[in-house]
Structure 1
Amino acid sequence: MSKLLVTGQSGFVGRHLLAHLANHQSEWQPVAAPSHDLLDTNSLDAWVSATRPDAVIHLAGQTFVPEAFRNPARTLQINLLGTLNLLQALKRNDFQGTFLYVSSGDVYGQVTAEQLPIDETLLPKPRNPYAVSKLAAENLCLQWSFSEPDWRIVIARPFNHIGPGQAADFLVPDMARQLIRIRKGLQLPRLQVGDVDVSRDFLDVRDVVRAYFHLLEKGQSGEIYNVCSGVERDIRELIMQMASLAEVEITLEQHPDRLRRAEQRRVAGSGEKLRAQTNWQPIITTTTTLHDVLSDWDERIHNNNE
């Protein structure tokens, strides 16, 4: 079996990626992740030299946008310098495989309705330090794809992804947590929300993981691929669908601490390049995703693990 090094194994996507490998037949064998730090070159060298991977999926990074505003320097250090440290550790250990860098659809920045759906030809205009750090690391990876001809370097730009196990810092798990609390009588039937009259392109995290493996197999070196559903979902409607699945009646209550008007009103991506070149297709319905997220929070709250 081919050895796969995955950074960020303990994160939301990393856990689902390892679960996918455990539950599906695959040519990839994930290598163990000892204690390491993207900003500690010695720990990266030790990991790479001990495992000699055939491919890398680089998930690790500082991904929370509010934290990027609070500490932009550290976000850039982790996401840009950390990526450079990893690339250099691989080079020092004679890596000649596939390197999949996981960036973000956030790099596109503010997009007009006329530019929807967003495809890979749209010029990125990042509007927060997190997106800046991801775009900078993308460009670093592209430079390495030119200078390291024996490597295959592919870049993924995932849009919003959701699923069981996601932290309550994000919209859908936050709503699910509140809905389950309401169903259990722990919260009044008022859902505290921010600006919900916007749209986003959501994809189940398990479909995202499948897309990454399709890119490992068929993605072209030096190319960028959107990973998205291609479906524009209204946030207010999505929340009401979740309430229906949770079997609770609610009212939405805009909370001042949450009410930050979103600069980007609509988001819809185009995943046609990914589909055309790898034959990937999303297979999990939104209803299934929301049901699984609600079930996850029901279990968490039952176990007092909120």
Structure 2
Amino acid sequence: MHKILITGFTGFTGRYVLQEARKRGLNAICFSEDGSSSSLPINLLDYTAVREKIEEIRPSSVVHLAAISHVLHEPASDFYAVNIGGTRNILQALSELSRNNLVNNIFASSANIYGNSSKVELDEETSLRPVNDYGLSKKTMEELLVLWKDKLPITITRPFNYTGRGQVDSFLIPKIVNAFKQKKNCLELGNLEISRDFSDVRFIAQAYLSLAIQSSQFRVINLCSGNLTSIKEIISICATLTNHNLKVISNPDFCRKNEIMKLKGSTAKMEKALGYKSPYSIRETLSWMLSK
């Protein structure tokens, strides 16, 4: 049976990846800091512990999701310690397996590393210009992964924005959805002029598992919908689905410095690798989130 090691499974994305793995009948083994839900307790910054556990598990594939991912996280030094240091330990441990039968290893990067680009549609060859510590840590992680491309099968994924049930409301779409579910009269947000390429977390989980069981050489793949949706459109869809209107105010205190105004991905390479695009429209995702 294909044995998948998932890191960061207690996070928003990881829970869906674990569900998808079980649905596919894969043997999923998880790392988490506290060992919750029958996972193995591990500190990814403890190389000796990481190496011992990976040697014991001997996975066929790894889906590495564990990371500090909220752009406003403090202290910013955590981005580099976890996103780079934890990844480095996993890479070294995998390369030292006594019998290396690895099929593939998925490392989650982020479309945030593209920064503000003049291109209408961002493909994997687009120049990387991160504008915050999170994006810079992921760009550095990718540069680290290049050093291991001749030693291990590696797929770097660059997911664009995605959402779904269970995402905390410090993220934009859950914040908007919760305001409509609670029938609030007013909602304060940051910059209302931004537009994003939004996907459904269920699709992202499916994509991770599909890629994980593919044998491949080093590659970088966007995970995205290929559609650009504005914040105002999100609000309008929620208003229609709930038959409720609220006043939305742009609060300058919520606006980020160096905000990325538009972020839309090319799906060409993703479609070639997966053989499919996301089956979920943003309206379907919002309807799913609003229904619970």
Q: Normalized against structure 1, the TM-score is what?
A: 0.87
Equivalent position of 2:160 in the other structure: 159
Question: Alignment RMSD, CA only?
Answer: 1.7
Structure 2 residue 129 is the aligned partner of structure 1 residue 130 = no
Cα offset, 1:107, TM superposition: 0.7
Give the secondary structure class of the aligned counterpart of 2:249: strand
Are residues 261 and 126 of structure 1, via their aligned partners in 2, closer, same or farther at CA, if it must alter by over 3 Å? closer
Cα offset, 1:264, TM superposition: 2.3
Cα offset, 1:198, TM superposition: 1.7
Which of 284, 287, 299 is matched with 2:283 structurally? 287
1:163-197 Cα offsets, whole Å, 9 max, x none, are 11101111000111111122xxxx4x112222112
Q: Note if contact 1:179-1:191 (Cα within 8 Å) is conserved in structure 2.
A: no
Q: Distance in 2 between matches of 1:120 and 1:209?
A: 20
Q: Distance in 1 between matches of 2:68 and 2:290?
A: 26
Equivalent position of 1:106 in the other structure: 112
Equivalent position of 1:249 in the other structure: 245
Give the secondary structure class of the aligned counterpart of 2:264: coil
1:237-274 Cα offsets, whole Å, 9 max, x none, are 11121122122121212234324476322221101111
Give the secondary structure class of the aligned counterpart of 1:134: helix
| Worse-superposed segment, 51-60 or 30-39 | 30-39
Cα offset, 1:293, TM superposition: 1.5
Q: Note if contact 2:191-2:252 (Cα within 8 Å) is conserved in structure 1.
A: no
Equivalent position of 2:144 in the other structure: 140
Q: Note if contact 1:79-1:134 (Cα within 8 Å) is conserved in structure 2.
A: yes
| 1:172-191 mapped onto 2 (5 Å cutoff) | 172-182=173-183, 187=184, 189-191=185-187
| Matched residue type, 2:24 | Q
| Matched residue type, 2:40 | P
| 1:1-306 mapped onto 2 (5 Å cutoff) | 1-22=1-22, 24-26=23-25, 28-32=26-30, 33-67=39-73, 70-94=74-98, 95-97=100-102, 98-112=104-118, 115-146=119-150, 148=151, 151-182=152-183, 187=184, 189-218=185-214, 220-260=216-256, 263-296=259-292
Give the secondary structure class of the aligned counterpart of 1:65: coil
Q: Note if contact 1:218-1:278 (Cα within 8 Å) is conserved in structure 2.
A: no
Cα offset, 1:116, TM superposition: 1.4
Give the secondary structure class of the aligned counterpart of 2:17: helix
Q: Distance in 1 between matches of 2:178 and 2:49?
A: 37
Q: Normalized against structure 2, the TM-score is what?
A: 0.91
| Matched residue type, 2:202 | R
Give the secondary structure class of the aligned counterpart of 2:41: coil
Identity of aligned residues (%): 30
1:270-294 Cα offsets, whole Å, 9 max, x none, are 0111102331311122222101222
Cα offset, 1:145, TM superposition: 1.1
Q: Distance in 2 between matches of 1:262 and 1:180?
A: 31
| Unpaired runs of at least 5, structure 2 | 31-38
Q: Note if contact 1:154-1:219 (Cα within 8 Å) is conserved in structure 2.
A: no
Bigger fraction of residues in helix: 1
Aligned residues: 282
Cα offset, 1:93, TM superposition: 2.7
Give the secondary structure class of the aligned counterpart of 1:84: helix
Are residues 134 and 259 of structure 1, via their aligned partners in 2, closer, same or farther at CA, if it must alter by over 3 Å? closer
Are residues 63 and 30 of structure 1, via their aligned partners in 2, closer, same or farther at CA, if it must alter by over 3 Å? same
Give the secondary structure class of the aligned counterpart of 1:172: helix
